Structure 1
Amino acid sequence: MTSNPRQNAEIQGRATARTQPMFHRVLRAHPQTVRDTLGDIRQRFREDVSEDTLGRLELVLAEVLNNVTEHAGTGDAVRSRTPSIHLCIVRHDSGLACAITDDGASLPDDCILPRILPTAEFPDLPEGGFGWYLIQDLTQALCYYREESRNFLAFSVPFAYDEASH
């Protein structure tokens, strides 16, 4: 059987598309585990994306994962165990797609409503008042829903302008 160069190129193209860099982790909602995971993500993607994109991804994930950690045992049900977080990040043509699920407390209804940067006097702002604004500002296609006892959050962090043209 002889091989067709065109077919080989098509097969190679499909194989490359399926092997885009991916990161997957199941972790406990604990501050040190979050810090370690952010370091592992930086290590995983440092050769594949720019420092700008990696910094924006890290900032968004730090906000989201630390929110899960901080508020995991509050709300509808106080938990006797530390919630688990499932995190998946996939590099695609225009950025990094992220999916996060956790079995912590439900996200408050107003968290994903569109935000504007607060213009009030800074001493009047609550601690951490910029978190969801930053998340919304640095991501695209942000969506959230809760099903039974799990939260589902997905978003994309677009590549930096100069990175998207490569």
Structure 2
Amino acid sequence: MQAERLDDGAFLISCRMDSTPDDVQSSLLDINTLLQGEEIAPPPDSIWELVVAEVLNNIVEHAYQDRAGGDILLRLRFGHERLTVEFTDFGLPMPSGMAPDGALANVDVPVEELPEGGFGWFLIRSLSEDLTYCHDGGRNLLTLAISLAPKGPHGTSS
């Protein structure tokens, strides 16, 4: 894991992890440790980790089909009001060559028929901005941005 302060004041963290849930969790803990005491660290109520974890878990589950031994490269650029994230993996491409649209699963059904999944892309899309995906030469590249601006009293950026 590497971390550096950039000339514009942003804090850049780059890391490589294996395609396992344990390595994803360990990497997120390491990132949080690096952020402790940093002037540019996101506010405690920030949702950045939820979004990043959901994308990483999707890469493990779908791109690598829950098989260890796949590289996941992660770059996080923490700015004063925005986090830009770049995810790179070498697993299977997304279906249709596009990131899912993130439609919310139907929850207006009896409890026993509620879906177990189908919420991840809705969550990713609704909590991030500027999401792009491409598959090129055996590599998947997903980028997105997350607002780190403090929330006002009504849940909006102040």
Partners of 2:56 and 2:102 lie apart in 1 by 20
| Alignment partner, residue 3 of structure 2 | none
Quote how far apart the aligned CAs of 1:31 are: 0.9
Query: In the superposition, relative to structure 1, how do residues 120 and 51 fare at CA in structure 2: closer, same or farther (>3 Å)?
Result: same
Find the residue that maps to 1:161 and give its secondary structure: coil
- CA RMSD, aligned part only? 2.6
Name the SS of the counterpart of 2:146 in structure 1: strand
SS at match of 1:88: strand
Aligned-pair CA distance for 1:92: 1.9
The equivalent of 2:60 in structure 1 is 69
- Report the TM-score when normalising by structure 2: 0.78
Structure 2: distance between partners of 1:92 and 1:117: 33
- Structure 1 alignment gaps of length 5 or more: 1-14
Quote the Cα distance in structure 2 between the aligned partners of 1:16 and 1:73: 36
In structure 2, what is the equivalent of residue 12 of structure 1?
none
Q: 2:14 is matched with which residue?
A: 24
1:107, distance to aligned residue in structure 2 (A): 1.4
Query: 1:16 Cα deviation (Å)?
Result: 4.2
Count of aligned residue pairs for this structure pair: 144
Q: Which has the larger radius of gyration?
A: 1
Tell me how far apart the structure 1 counterparts of residues 115 and 92 of structure 2 sit (CA, whole Å).
Answer: 20
- Any gaps of 5 or more consecutive residues in structure 2? 1-5
Question: Which SS does the other structure have where 1:144 is aligned?
Answer: strand
Paired letter, 2:94:
L
Q: 1:114 to 1:62 in 2, by over 3 A?
A: closer
Seq. identity, % = 31
Q: Greater shift after overlay, 32-41 or 119-128?
A: 119-128
